[in-house]
Structure 1
Amino acid sequence: MKNIAKLMSIALVSGLIVSCASTEQKIVQNERIVTNPIDLNYRFQPNEESRREAADPVLEYFKGYYYMFASKSGGYWRSEDLAKWEYIPCTTIPTLEDYAPTILVYGDTLYFTASSGNTRIFKNAHPETDTWEEVDTKLTYRQHDPAFFKDDDGKVYLYWGCSDVDPIVGVEVDPKNGFCAIGEPKSLIEHNGDKYGWEVPGKNNEEPRQGWNEGPCVLKHNGRYYLQYAAPGTQYRIYGDGNYVGDNPLGPFEYVEDNPFSFKPGGFIGGAGHGHTFKDKYGNYWHVASMTISVRHWFERRLGIFPVVVSDKYGMYALTTFADYPFCIPDRKVDFEKEDINMGWNLLSYKKKVSASSSLEGYEPELANDEQVETWWAAQTGNKGEWLQMDLGKLMEINAIQVNFADHNFNVHAPHGPVVYQYYIEGSTDGKNWTRLIDEEKNEKDAPHKLHTLSAPAKMQYLRICNTKDMEGCFSLFDLRVFGQGGGKVPAVVTGFQASRDENDKRIYRFSWEPQDNVTGYILRWGTQKEKLTHSMVVYNNHYEARYFNRDSEYYFSVTAFNENGVGK
């Protein structure tokens, strides 16, 4: 099994070298290897407790670049490849600080509006520069969480909705006449928390009230219209995006039973809601969405990007199982249903022995590798020389290290320049003699979730990250995550799996199975189609309760164990 797994890994990486970098050097390939959350210069907010935020993303391909806007970011980003992002500060859109932006490609111009409760729209034929102009708008509806959609026939529609009471609505608009509405808005999606457990708010969908239906987005595929919406609240890991489908851009729409199509309640960082589905320049579908931290403030959020399968047989679903592990952005058309873009590198750092130069009470070193972005290690100071050390337990092959900085006790508020960390990471086989693996001592980029992919795998047992810059606040890490090959056996098949449905509330399932030694965790999969389980949850115990199922649907389940050597059967 070990040799088979190794051969599979070599084959996968070799294929990705070809697809991601053609015949160029590995360093080019490495630049296409990413993970979630997306590593961006997330802006600190102008008021309240110092914290970064970006959410409610929208992304479109325009004139050779991908343009991405997100709430509360002070600007926007562009990219040629979805892997490397350039930040463009923006001062010419006075409503840029409003939540939930949307953009529209119409002719040779990009249009922008946001959830301001007014009707201001801006345009720019050259968004690589901050030269936006206001449109003489004739739209009179006050919309929250707006979303543009342009159909194949050139007609344009505007959708909006952000409420625990009001529906998602839509109306046709005329961009050539100041986006004047054509007809009256139509109610399209109502709240159905009593039927669909994932629409119910709470950390575990447990609160006895309706959640928020919000953040619509429309996608057309094979002549059918997918009206997407988010629920139940951005502060929860169970925040996701669902679909209704119809034959007309203004409905009627029918609920897709296998909802939510974008969902990531588990792993290092959770949440995959209030997003936008788009096609890349090769015709691949992706979904960019909000991910949650929500500790310092309930709007403390990040962005994630997920490949999307759109299948005539199985419907639409985002691939989120290992979306916070390294994967490669392809430079060609890919069948995501059949071809895995994950790099095949396993998590080596989970709950390994750690020590540190210092720590604050409640922010101990053990919180730096617990796979929970909501907790973190913080040194007592931000002084040069603070460090965190990890013992992997034995020699392991390291391919990549993700550094997630927690900004503890920072006092940074917008507007601000780049918030730059400087550090190095070294490795050792014996804990005495050290080799520098990553050198960021001269770093000048604001990169709080940096994934470092090594040019060649390094066999190490010990790793240490050391701060090399005196800074305000404390040197701190949400998690220091290490990826590679453990060199041992993958877990055996899970036994004793049981799934029981609550007799009084069929939206609730409870699961249990026999625990295994030598595992990192388990992947619980489910779906309404036996041959294609489209959803997953990473669980670290041998039991789990979930309340996000449809009341009237039947489900199929499986559970698989995984560890630092791979995924079992």
Structure 2
Amino acid sequence: MKRLILSFYFALLSSFSFTAHSQQRTYCNPMDISYRYNFEQLNEKISYRSGADPVIINHKKEYYLFVTIQGGWWHSKDLVNWTFIVPDKWPMEDMCAPAALSVRDTLYLFQSTFEQRPIFISTEPQKGKLKFYNRWLPRLPKDIGPWDPALFHDDDTDKWYMYWGSSNVYPIFGAELDKSRNLTYAGDNPAQAYKAMFWLDPYKHGWERFGPNHSDPFKPFTEGAWMTKHNGKYYLQYGAPGTEYNVYGNGTYVGKDPLGPFEYAPYNPVAYKPGGFATGCGHGNTFQDNFGNYWNTGTTWIGYNWGMERRIVMNPAGFDKDDQLFANTRFGDFPHYLPTKEWKNRDELFTGWMLLSYRKSVTASSTIAAAPTDTLSADRVTDENPRTFWVARQNKPGETLTIDLGADRDIKAVQVDYIDYKQTIFDSDSTVYTQFKILTSTDNKKWKVVADLGKEPKRDRACAYVELEQPTRARYVRYEHIYVAGPTLAINAFRVFGNGLGKAPATPATLTAKRQKDQRNADISWSKVPGAVGYNIRWGIAPDKLYQTYQFWHDDPSVGLNNKFELRALNVDVPYYFAIEAFDENGVSALSKVVDDGSGLGKKQ
């Protein structure tokens, strides 16, 4: 009997050991959550999954994610495994760009509105329990809002505030809330309770210009207010210039009082990711995890089915020694480690796992017949463009995509991103889930299963990220389909991460930066590195503050054959400094020598 008990004990220990060993240590943007099918375009019969305007709240050392029009929210204990929660009661309509806040034991929730709507509270958000905190906030004047609201509680003064705004006409607004009257607007006249915090100024702030790479003269939008207090300063954040393009980012104004006056931060934008697969990171929030690390969330653009088709990203963030707020988007859509402590170096969460699949050869088991202008072929899953994709002839088990990496590589993770092509789903019910297998081979003949989502609990994973339990050396990687809901199987990215077996590339030998007469722009050029897969242009307002990154592929048409690019995201009368690094499948080069922008502005200060 004792031997039987001991055997059971050691088996139990082995089980615990395996569970700990196989626990996911990394994450990859776009976030792997169960994005809900969106009914916004139901009348137009456009079906698509989407998620935008995220707010992640650390409440009682657990995390809650609120997203536009999802019918509920997500709960996580580790920032990687998210469970969808359906509330027991819901507002008058689903919440768009909701405000959420944790104060002591209570979570507060408020929706975007131009009408009279209540603030909700919950002491059990993990169970979906909601209660009315007040019955409604008084109506504000026409078109004022509060749309895209943010709630803020100043712990030092025990005062409450709300910020809001979503417009290319109106500014970001702010108002104090009266705690004695259940957080209605302070003062007797709601029409006078709020005031303007700031407007966009695209004539001085290059990154606030609209369009792809800030090239459209259309008047830009500001939205997505958020407030963070740090070292006695108030950082009022905002999204700009519009969600539909690669340059969607977050900026901040800084003040000494919750209602200002505020000064524009010369280092803006604080979160910016115009290059790569998941471009754009605007309209989110800033929060701290259980180790004290800051994070900045945002919205990345898909825009195939409809202009507002989007996903969610989460990037490491922080304040430097000078209280400069920043978010680190360098390799922002490559795998990163989940922190287990407070990090000291802003790049230490990057795994160093490189993209192995860019422009690699792909074969499919079948491809739907389509017009010659449609981008439905298998090679689209490795072009790092979320708006091009492959569609199988039928949505049935056994359909495959096989990538030839060209040589053996150490494979450590994969990401499979789905897109909704001619879908007919308008509700994420129990039939909506994702299952597939990942197999590897060294010879394209003998295959090994390295991941099987068919053995996991059913959930929908439009941006399924799978970290392998053990690195696998192989040349071929295969996606084998099991199930997705709806009539079509469409994949816009099959991304393979790991490392090659060679040396990292050399540092580009030359880098030049020249500020234009229009100080919002600078001309950047660099020398090619043989074999490089891509380059990161890094810049900032001081040689030791290169917080911004623009990623380019080696064959990016926007830089042409001479590797020249016009950067249009700079602030007038602010000096800038630049450096460059090359990357390939083996790793990242050393950073180049830092150069200034040639404007002489740095010498004048």
Look up the match of 1:16: none
- Structure 1, residues 119-150: CA drift from partner, whole Å, max 9, x if none? 42212221122332232335443311110011
- Shifted more, 555-564 versus 177-186: the winner is 177-186
Look up the match of 1:129: 127
For the pair 1:501 / 2:498, whether they are aligned, the reply is: no
Would you say the 8 A contact 1:307–1:336 is kept in 2?
no
In 1, Cα distance between equivalents of 2:266 and 2:379 = 41
DSSP-derived class of the 1:368 partner: helix
Which of 87, 90, 94 matches 2:87?
A: 90
Look up the match of 1:346: 354
DSSP-derived class of the 2:284 partner: strand
Would you say the 8 A contact 1:418–1:445 is kept in 2?
no
Shift of 1:191: 1.9
Distance 1:471 1:138, change over 3 A: closer
Would you say the 8 A contact 1:74–1:96 is kept in 2?
no
Shift of 1:175: 3.3
Q: How does 1:25-424 map to 2 (within 5 A)?
A: 27=20, 30-46=23-39, 47=42, 48=44, 49-90=46-87, 92-95=89-92, 97-120=94-117, 121-134=119-132, 135-141=134-140, 142-152=145-155, 153-183=157-187, 184-313=193-322, 315-337=324-346, 340-360=348-368, 361=370, 362-414=375-427, 416-424=429-437
In 2, Cα distance between equivalents of 1:336 and 1:132 = 39
Shift of 1:409: 2.5
- Structure 1, residues 507-532: CA drift from partner, whole Å, max 9, x if none? 12232222222111000111111222
In 2, Cα distance between equivalents of 1:138 and 1:70 = 22
Look up the match of 2:497: 483
DSSP-derived class of the 1:123 partner: strand
Shift of 1:107: 4.2
Would you say the 8 A contact 2:213–2:274 is kept in 1?
no
Distance 1:89 1:470, change over 3 A: closer
Look up the match of 2:576: 555
- Structure 1, residues 24-63: CA drift from partner, whole Å, max 9, x if none? 6575574231111110110111214111111111121223
In 1, Cα distance between equivalents of 2:95 and 2:153 = 23
DSSP-derived class of the 2:380 partner: helix
DSSP-derived class of the 1:367 partner: helix
Distance 1:45 1:103, change over 3 A: same
Question: Unmatched 5+ residue regions in structure 1?
Answer: 1-22
In 1, Cα distance between equivalents of 2:484 and 2:588 = 41
Shift of 1:169: 1.1
Structure label with greater radius of gyration: 2
DSSP-derived class of the 1:557 partner: strand
In 2, Cα distance between equivalents of 1:539 and 1:243 = 26
Would you say the 8 A contact 2:114–2:139 is kept in 1?
no
Distance 1:471 1:272, change over 3 A: closer
In 1, Cα distance between equivalents of 2:383 and 2:237 = 33
Structure 2 counterpart of 1:293, one-letter code: I
Shift of 1:560: 1.0
DSSP-derived class of the 2:67 partner: strand
Runs of 4+ in 1 over 6 A off after TM superposition: none
- Shifted more, 535-544 versus 104-113: the winner is 104-113
Structure 1 counterpart of 2:473, one-letter code: K
TM-score (norm 2): 0.86
Structure 2 counterpart of 1:316, one-letter code: L
In 2, Cα distance between equivalents of 1:33 and 1:470 = 24
Would you say the 8 A contact 2:353–2:497 is kept in 1?
yes
In 2, Cα distance between equivalents of 1:204 and 1:144 = 27
Shift of 1:336: 4.1
Shift of 1:442: 4.2
Distance 1:24 1:147, change over 3 A: farther
DSSP-derived class of the 2:253 partner: strand
In 2, Cα distance between equivalents of 1:107 and 1:506 = 46
In 2, Cα distance between equivalents of 1:32 and 1:96 = 37
In 1, Cα distance between equivalents of 2:396 and 2:566 = 43
Question: Unmatched 5+ residue regions in structure 2?
Answer: 1-15, 188-192, 557-562, 591-605
For the pair 1:527 / 2:540, whether they are aligned, the reply is: yes
TM-score (norm 1): 0.92
- Shifted more, 412-421 versus 472-481: the winner is 412-421
In 2, Cα distance between equivalents of 1:28 and 1:190 = 50
Look up the match of 1:564: 585
DSSP-derived class of the 1:98 partner: coil
Shift of 1:221: 0.3
- Shifted more, 435-444 versus 397-406: the winner is 435-444
Shift of 1:251: 0.4
Would you say the 8 A contact 2:305–2:420 is kept in 1?
no
- Shifted more, 61-70 versus 225-234: the winner is 61-70
- Structure 1, residues 451-509: CA drift from partner, whole Å, max 9, x if none? 21111111100111111348533322211111111011211110232223333x32122
In 2, Cα distance between equivalents of 1:553 and 1:24 = 54
State the identity as a percent. Answer: 37
DSSP-derived class of the 2:207 partner: helix
- Structure 1, residues 391-438: CA drift from partner, whole Å, max 9, x if none? 001111111111112233321112533522222121111111111111
- Shifted more, 272-281 versus 433-442: the winner is 433-442
- Shifted more, 123-132 versus 294-303: the winner is 123-132
